[in-house]
């Protein structure tokens, strides 16, 4: 038998040996055609009967139903031979991983919907007030001038995710990706309204009766409702919950942009729930592609123990391997792959095949873990390594990013200050005085109103005067735009004199400084 594939990026070369159609690397015959398993091979097993599997091209072409088709490494199960998307009806696999994932998914949805509700420091835990250019994150308020911090924060979080992927493989995809979490919920609704996988598949091929229309209609209403709730939850991050509630009580015409955003997002989510589904993971998700270069043979993946499982075969054939070829692992796979062919790009790490195979092994009184979480090295019995250079590199980059972001956050001021020169002439000379005009913007980032005092410091020449509202009372998260006029007698001005505009709070603490450049005629 030929070697099992060692990495999803490993070339799929034709093999030359006789391997019962399960090889996927070099040296054996080519698997350009799907592997066909006779029903006898599965019906003879004492494992539970197959609930349903991906719709096969053979069935599409009307070939005898008794010839069961398995996915091949050279095709994508969610595409038919004609290139059209095939909707899969994965069977439900109950088990410890399904229950744990359901719990994690419910918690994540609850957190997603709750964050705009939870007040921290007088603002929602996350409130991205784009209109006012203020971003509230867990009690901290950022303004657009603070966005440089996002580079370090995103870098730190990104490299942290790299480290997690290198260690735990596609754990993000299987357990925490919003799409996976939402689709699990959609499948629950689908099972409840339309029944198990064989029933749903039958329903697909039935003519449109009243009963089918009602079931399908209810399903789409439920999906659309879920999509609308999630889209409104998303909008709440940008307008806050009171803002969302106000908008919902007003006509859409009063908030066109928000209405269109929610409507568009609802349609996109509904389209994904109803039709596109795991296609996103297989053909669109950039992180899914990136993960292939982040993992190695020591990363945790979901894999099939071929040494233990092969040669596979029905129980009545007295197979020496533990795999009874019941194909339950294929039938429950949401991306329609056969994990026994080795790790594949389509695997999202949902562990449904682990639950399915463990339940078969339990019924057969054999040890669980024929399909399990393990590294590729572990699956072939080689020593496993936790620490690898890439882990150290990703962790070091994560620490660098998060440390820089933390340092930046610790130095954040309680006000955002910007000083710009007023449009028009850069300076004015009148009655022996030089005049420069500026526009000062002060944004109070505190959750309370505060008083700000503006002054000039440095080598202030005699007779220099600062005019404008030099004391500003600004409400919480409010903003003041103040014209500042600096006047100095011409005979006292010396070009290049260093000056600084300062903003202090009522206690005299320095909030911000801005260099004040005074422009004057060249002849001075
Ligand atoms: S790996 Fe397990 S679930 Fe899959 S066919 Fe073999 S026995 Fe059945
Ligand atoms: S192979 Fe297993 S873990 Fe991977 S997507 Fe299919 S069911 Fe989920």
Alpha helices in 240-273 (DSSP H): 241-248, 256-271
Cis peptide before 32 (omega within 30 of 0): no
Pocket test for ligand 1, best of 20, 371, 372, 374 (most atoms within 8 A of CB): 371
pTM for the predicted model, two decimal places: 0.77
Tokens, residue 73: 């490494």
Distance, in Å, from the CA atom of 247 to the CA atom of 227, rounded to the nearest integer, reads: 18
Residue that is written with structure tokens 């008794």 in the block: 66
Per-residue pLDDT tens, the chain, 524 aa: give them.
Answer: 333 333 433 433 333 333 333 333 333 333 333 333 433 334 334 443 333 444 444 444 444 443 456 777 777 777 877 778 888 899 999 999 999 999 999 999 999 999 998 999 888 999 999 888 889 999 888 888 888 899 999 999 999 999 999 999 999 999 999 999 999 999 999 999 999 999 999 999 999 999 999 999 999 999 999 999 999 999 999 998 888 999 999 988 889 999 999 999 999 999 999 999 988 998 899 888 888 899 999 999 999 999 999 999 888 877 789 999 999 999 999 999 999 999 888 999 999 999 999 999 999 999 999 999 999 999 999 999 999 999 999 999 999 999 999 999 988 888 889 999 999 999 999 999 999 999 999 989 888 899 999 999 988 999 999 999 899 899 988 889 999 999 999 999 998 888 999 999 988 999 999 999 999 988 75
CA of 359 to the centre of ligand 1 (A): 10
CA of 323 to the centre of ligand 1 (A): 5
Residue that is written with structure tokens 């440089």 in the block: 148
**Which atom of ligand 1 lies closest to the CA of 340?**
1
CA of 88 to the centre of ligand 1 (A): 19
Q: What is the CA radius of gyration of the chain?
A: 32
Provide residues with CB under 6 Å of ligand 1. Answer: 47, 304, 309, 323-329, 340, 356-357, 360, 370-371
Which residue segments constitute the domains of the chain, with CATH numbers given?
A: 1-115+150-205+218-411 (no CATH), 415-515 (2.60.40.10)
Tell me the angle at which helices 241-248 and 210-239 cross, rounded to the nearest 10 degrees. 130
Instruction: Report CA dihedral (391, 392, 398, 399) to the nearest 10 degrees.
Output: 150
Nearest to 48 by CA among 186, 195, 197: 197
């Amino acid at each position: 038998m030929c070697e099992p594939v060692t990495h999803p990026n490993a070339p799929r070369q034709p093999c030359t040996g006789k391997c019962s159609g399960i090889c996927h690397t070099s040296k054996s015959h080519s698997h350009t055609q799907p592997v066909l398993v006779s029903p006898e091979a599965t019906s003879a097993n004492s494992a539970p009967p197959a609930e349903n599997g991906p719709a096969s091209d053979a069935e599409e072409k009307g070939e005898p139903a008794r010839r069961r088709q398995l996915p091949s490494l050279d095709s994508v199960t969610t595409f038919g031979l004609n290139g059209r998307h095939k909707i899969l009806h994965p069977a439900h696999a109950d088990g410890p991983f399904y229950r744990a994932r359901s719990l994690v998914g419910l918690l994540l949805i609850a957190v997603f919907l709750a964050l705009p509700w939870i007040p921290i420091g007088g603002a929602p835990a996350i409130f991205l007030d784009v209109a006012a250019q203020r971003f509230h994150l867990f009690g901290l308020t950022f303004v657009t001038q603070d966005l440089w911090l996002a580079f370090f924060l995103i870098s730190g979080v990104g490299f942290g995710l790299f480290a997690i992927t290198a260690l735990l493989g596609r754990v993000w995809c299987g357990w925490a990706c919003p799409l996976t979490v939402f689709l699990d919920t959609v499948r629950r609704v689908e099972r409840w309204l339309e029944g198990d996988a064989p029933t749903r598949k039958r329903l697909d091929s039935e003519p449109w009766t009243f009963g089918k229309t009602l079931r399908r209609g209810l399903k789409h209403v439920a999906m659309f409702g879920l999509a609308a709730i999630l889209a409104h939850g998303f909008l709440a991050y940008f307008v806050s919950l009171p803002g969302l509630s106000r908008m919902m009580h007003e006509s859409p015409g009063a908030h066109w942009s928000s209405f269109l955003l929610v409507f568009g997002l609802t349609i996109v989510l509904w389209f994904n729930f109803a039709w596109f589904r795991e296609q996103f993971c297989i053909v669109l998700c950039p992180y899914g592609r990136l993960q292939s270069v982040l993992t190695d043979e020591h990363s945790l993946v979901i894999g099939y123990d071929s040494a233990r499982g092969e040669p596979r075969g029905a129980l009545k054939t007295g197979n020496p391997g533990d795999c009874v070829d019941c194909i339950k692992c294929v039938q429950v796979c949401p991306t329609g792959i056969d994990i026994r062919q080795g790790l594949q790009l389509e695997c999202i790490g949902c562990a449904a095949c682990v639950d399915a195979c463990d339940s078969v092994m339990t019924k057969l009184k054999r040890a669980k873990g024929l399909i399990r979480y393990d590294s590729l090295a572990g699956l072939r019995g080689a020593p496993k390594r936790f620490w690898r250079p890439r882990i150290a590199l990703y962790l070091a980059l994560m620490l660098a990013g998060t440390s820089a972001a933390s340092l930046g956050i610790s130095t954040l001021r309680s006000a955002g200050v910007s000083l710009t020169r007023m449009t028009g002439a850069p300076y004015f000379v009148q009655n022996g005085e030089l005049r420069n005009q500026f526009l000062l913007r002060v944004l109070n980032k505190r959750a309370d109103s505060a008083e700000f005092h503006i002054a000039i410091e440095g080598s202030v020449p005699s007779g220099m005067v600062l005019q404008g509202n030099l004391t500003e009372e600004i409400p919480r998260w409010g903003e003041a735009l103040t014209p500042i006029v600096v006047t100095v007698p011409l005979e006292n001005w010396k070009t290049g004199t260093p000056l600084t505009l300062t903003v202090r709070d009522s206690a005299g603490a320095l909030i911000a400084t801005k260099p004040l450049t005074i422009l004057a005629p060249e002849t001075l």
